[in-house]
Amino acid sequence: MIEIISATALATVQDTGRSGSLGYGVGTSGAMDQLALAVGNLLLGNPEGAAAIEIPLFPFEVRFIQDCAFAVTGAAGEATLDGQPLLPYWVMQAREGQVLSLGYPTSGSRAYLCLAGGVDVPPVLGSRSTQLRGEFGGFEGRALQQGDRLAAARPGLSEGPVDFGVIAPSQALALHCDGVPAMRVLPAAEYECFVEDSRNAFWADDWKITGQSNRYGYRLEGTPLVPVAPMEIRSHGIVPGVIQVPHGGQPIIQMRDAQPSGGYPKFGTVIEADLWRLGQAPVGSKVRFIHCSYPEALDALDDNRRYLEEVARLIDLHRMAPRQGH
């Protein structure tokens, strides 16, 4: 069990999200960086969909009320356990009373605190993710507050090895365009309804993530996307990653807490394999977009899977090593 001792807002419990409820008006929610969550669960031997704490604002501190193995993944920054520095993507054993402190990131924007067995909160509609708009899931349907206590599903001294780690996805799967972090995008239904100069500028220019960005959507700032003619579209289903263009021409990318329908024209979709990259892009930073085909999008998912398979293989080798020495 841990106790939140930080007053920093907006940390939430998240897992891989809800599926099958979009038709009822319930969004997916889930971790903004699904790879960071997956690696944290692999490191601890957790179920694949175990919940963790997503931390978007820093500094952040928790006190361990019970002994518990843990890992911090996602954004890389100054992390300490009772003042002793910790490495990112590393498994550690905390003792009762110890304090974990996470400082401001030097890269990325969201950290994940993964606990042995996962954060133990009741599932709602098949997921432990927090749905802030609906005020359900996670811990009482809200962001975590100072004094909250959350249980780990597998507390106590770790039966497996600790003090080891793996390479982060930001290093293993790095993707940049002219030195700027990049995401691959599939053109969407109304792509051809925008003038050619706007389409070309979308791929060639940097886009700034504005301060109006959050788990619901990222508002971008750059060369306006101009339609060939005014468009009026009925509301229709949308999913995380869809890039919509309001009348002002500045795109909005739907993120994990996006509502399940909307009526703005759809310019493109950030591919599922790259949504974690966008989830780690800090507010105020710039990103680039790379034109992608459907087969290339599937290949990118395969790359992510191969990375996770290699991580799992290395972790298994590490867990076997002590037994081989007997």
CA distance 186 to 292: 5
pLDDT in tens, 94-105: 999 999 999 999
Q: In DSSP terms, which residues pair with 12 in a beta bridge? A: 54
CA distance 319 to 160: 7
Q: Is the pLDDT of residue 322 over 70?
A: no
Residues in CB range of 277: below 8 A, 6 or more apart:
175, 181, 182, 183
Per-residue confidence band for 44, with pLDDT thresholds at 50, 70 and 90: very high
pLDDT in tens, 235-279: 888 889 999 999 999 999 999 998 888 889 999 999 999 999 999
| Secondary structure (DSSP) of 13-62 | EE-S---S-GGGT------S-HHHHHHHHHHHT--TT--EEEE-SSSEEE
Distances (CA, A) of 146 to 61, 150, 191: 9, 12, 46
H helical segments located in the chain: 34-44, 169-172, 196-204, 275-279, 294-324
- pLDDT, residue 9, reads 80
CA angle 165, 278, 229 (to 5 degrees): 165
- pLDDT, residue 60, reads 95
Mean pLDDT over residues 61-81, rounded? 95
Distances (CA, A) of 203 to 196, 200, 213: 11, 6, 21
192 SS3 class: helix
pLDDT in tens, 117-164: 999 999 999 999 999 988 999 999 999 999 999 999 999 988 877 889
Domain 176-292 fold is Cyclophilin (2.40.100)
Q: Is the pLDDT of residue 324 over 80?
A: no
For the chain, domain boundaries = 2-166, 176-292
CA distance 188 to 146: 43
Mean pLDDT over residues 205-226, rounded? 96
